[in-house]
Structure 1
Amino acid sequence: MTYRMRIASSIAINSLERELHHNFNWLKERGCSIETRYEQQDRYHCLLVTLHYPRKGVLFREEDFVYIFKYQLAEIVAEHIISLWEEELVKRRLDKTYRGLLPEERSLILEKALSFMRCCDDSESLSLLMRFGRKSRIAHRVLDHLLEHDMLILDGFVSFYLRDYLKEIQFAVDLAWEEVNNEKKYNEFVKLLRYFVDSQPSRVLEVNLMMTGAGGFSMWDESGNSLDETYVRGCLEEIFTDDISTDDVLVSVLITLAPRRVVLHGSSGKLPCNESIKIIKKVFKEKIVTCTGCDRCRESLIKKGDV
C-alpha cells in the first residue's frame, strides 16, 4: 500500500530530503519504507514523498501507519522551518520594514534578531525550552494541515498558518533595530563627549578616583587635594534637577575637569558595571590607568576587611 504527498518550497529543500531518509525508524522497523523524488517547478523546489506500508496487521490499521507518518513528518518540517527558514524570514521582515539600511547595519540587526529568537537571556535551558515550545506549536499546525491535505507549500503555509510565529520574528527584528539604533546614538554621544574632553583645556592634570560604599566616590588631584566638595557641589548647582544619580554626577564632574589622566583606586581599580561607568571608560579610554597599590588603596581594603 502507498501514500503520496508533495512538499514545495522556494528555499532549497535538500536538507529536508536528507532528514526524511534519516528518520521514521519506528515505521521502518514495521515494514514501511520512504521514497523521495526531487523536482524543480518554476521557482519552487518540490519533493514527492511516498510512504510504502503493509496492509492491515494485527496491531495497526493502514490509516495508523499514515497518521504516524504525518505526525513524524510534521516534527521534521517544524525543525526544518526553525533551522532553515527562520533566517530567511528575518531577512524578509528586515527588507519589508527597514529599507535603506547600510549593509553593516542590516547585518548587525540580522545577527541580533536571530540571537533573540534563539536565546532567552543567558539561560541555555530556558532557551531550549522556548525553542521546544515554538517547534511544538509549528509542528501542531503542520500536522493539522497534513491531516487535510496531500500538498504542503511551505511559503504559503508559513505566511497564512504561522502568523503567531511571524509576530515573534517581527518583535525580534524590531527589538534588534531598536538596540542597534540606540547603540548608534550612544556611540555618537560618547564620540561627542570625547571631542569635548579632548578639545577643552584640562582643569586638573590628574584625577584619582575611588568608589566608596553605597555608590559614593572620592576624588583627589595629583597633589592629593580633594576634588569632591568644590567640583561636585558646582556640578550639582549647574544641573537643575533633583533626579540626577551619583553616577551621573561623577560623569559630569570628570567631563568638566577633562583630566589628562584618570587613576582608578580601590579593589584592583575595578568600577561598578553601570552605564555611567561605561561612558567614563569609553570617553577617557587610553587616559585611564589602574593603581597598582598605594596607601589609600590599602586603607580601603583594611576598612572592607579584605586584608
Structure 2
Amino acid sequence: MSTIQIGTGSLFDLRSSFEKELTRWEKEGLKFQVQEQKMGKFKFLNLTLGKSGRETTKQEEAIFRHNLALVVTNLLLGQVSQNLLRRMIRIDHPYLTAEEANALSQKVIATLSAVEKKEWVSRVQNEVSSFLRENEAIFLEGFFRFRLKDYVHELKENLEEAIDQLLADKEYQEFIKLLRYFVEIQEPKILEVHVLFYSKEKFRLLDEEEKPLEHEYLLKVLGDLKDEGLRYEDLLLSALITLSPQRIILHHSEKTNIVNTILNVFTERVTFCRDCELCRSIEKH
C-alpha cells in the first residue's frame, strides 16, 4: 500500500478540502484510507491507496498520485496563497483591518489573467507531480515558499500594487469628504451653473441664464490664483466648490476623473445633458 502525507500550518480544514475529490475517487473505483493527525498547530492528512491484503497496480498508483497533485495544486493556488498574502499584510501593513486584508488577498489572486492562471496551474501541477513521484509527504506552506518562488514573487508585486491602490482610494475618499464639508457649510453664490466640456482640457462655465461666467468674476470668487502649475481640473473644481451652486448641469461630458469627482462631491446637485442647444454648440467646436 502507498501512503502520501499532506501537511499544513494554515487554519483551513484540510479534510473538507479533499472531501469532494475523495467522493469522486471512490465512485471511480479507487480504494483508499484516510487518517487525520494533529501536531500542535500543524495538521496532516495521510491518504493510503488500497486496502490491506490487496496489492495496488501501477495504473492505480499513477491515478492516485495524479489526483492528489490536482487537489494540492488547487490548494496551493487558492487557500494557501490567500493565507500567505494575509500573513504578509499582517506583518508589513498591520494598520489594515482583517476585512481589508481578506479583500486584498482575494483581489491579488483575481488580478491574474485567465491565461496567467492557466499557465500557473499547469506549472504548479507539474511541479507537484514531480515532487510526489519522489516523496511520500508534502507540507503545503514549505513547498509553496521554496518550490514556487516565482509565483510568490509575482503575488508580492501584485500585493504592493493593490495596497498602493487601496491607500490612494482611501486618500481620495478623505479628500472627497473634506470637499463635501466645504460645500455643505457654504451659502450658494449662484443658483445654477452649466459646465460645457469642449475637450479634456477645456471647459466653460455659464450661469442660470446661460451667460458666461467671465474670467474676471471667477478670479474675484476664487481669489488671485497665481500658481502657474494649476491644472484645469483643479480650477474647475475650485470654481464649483467656491460657487457652491444649487444645481450643476454637465453638458456633453464623458466619465473622466474630474466628472466623477464632481459627482462624488455634489452628488444629487449634478445632472447630465447631452441634447440641448448648448450641447449642440459644443459639437460644432
Q: What code does the residue aligned with 1:7 have?
A: I
Alignment of 1:108-187 (within 5 A): 108-120=100-112, 127-187=113-173
CA distance in 2, matches of 1:292, 1:152: 63
Q: Say if 1:36 and 1:50, in contact at 8 Å, map to a contact too.
A: yes
3-state SS, counterpart of residue 165 of structure 1: helix
3-state SS, counterpart of residue 277 of structure 1: helix
Shift of 1:193: 1.8
Q: Does 1:93 align with 2:75?
A: no
CA distance in 1, matches of 2:271, 2:279: 18
Shift of 1:147: 2.3
**1:78-121 C-alpha deviation (Å, 9 max, x unpaired):** 012223323322222222221143x3xx413421331231245x
- Corresponding residue pairs, total: 276
What is the match of residue 35 of structure 2?
38
CA distance in 2, matches of 1:193, 1:239: 21
Q: Does 1:82 align with 2:61?
A: no
CA distance in 1, matches of 2:56, 2:46: 22
Q: Say if 1:109 and 1:180, in contact at 8 Å, map to a contact too.
A: no
Q: Does 1:8 align with 2:7?
A: yes
3-state SS, counterpart of residue 75 of structure 2: helix
**1:176-199 C-alpha deviation (Å, 9 max, x unpaired):** 322221111111111222222333
3-state SS, counterpart of residue 203 of structure 1: coil
Q: Does 1:241 align with 2:228?
A: yes
What is the match of residue 286 of structure 1?
268
TM-score, normalising length from structure 2? 0.80
3-state SS, counterpart of residue 107 of structure 1: helix
**1:234-292 C-alpha deviation (Å, 9 max, x unpaired):** 769614225x443333222212322232123x35xxx3222222111111123223459
Q: Say if 2:86 and 2:101, in contact at 8 Å, map to a contact too.
A: no
3-state SS, counterpart of residue 33 of structure 1: coil
The Cα RMSD (Å) is: 3.2
CA distance in 1, matches of 2:26, 2:237: 63
Identity %: 25
Q: Say if 1:207 and 1:262, in contact at 8 Å, map to a contact too.
A: yes
Q: Say if 1:36 and 1:49, in contact at 8 Å, map to a contact too.
A: yes
**1:41-71 C-alpha deviation (Å, 9 max, x unpaired):** 2233322222349777xxxxx4x65445434
**1:110-141 C-alpha deviation (Å, 9 max, x unpaired):** 21331231245xxxxxx322222222222222
- 1:48 is aligned, of 8, 26, 46, to 46
Structure 1 spans left out of the alignment, 5+ residues: 57-61, 121-126
Q: What code does the residue aligned with 1:47 have?
A: L
Structure 2 spans left out of the alignment, 5+ residues: none
CA distance in 2, matches of 1:214, 1:107: 37
Q: Does 1:300 align with 2:282?
A: no
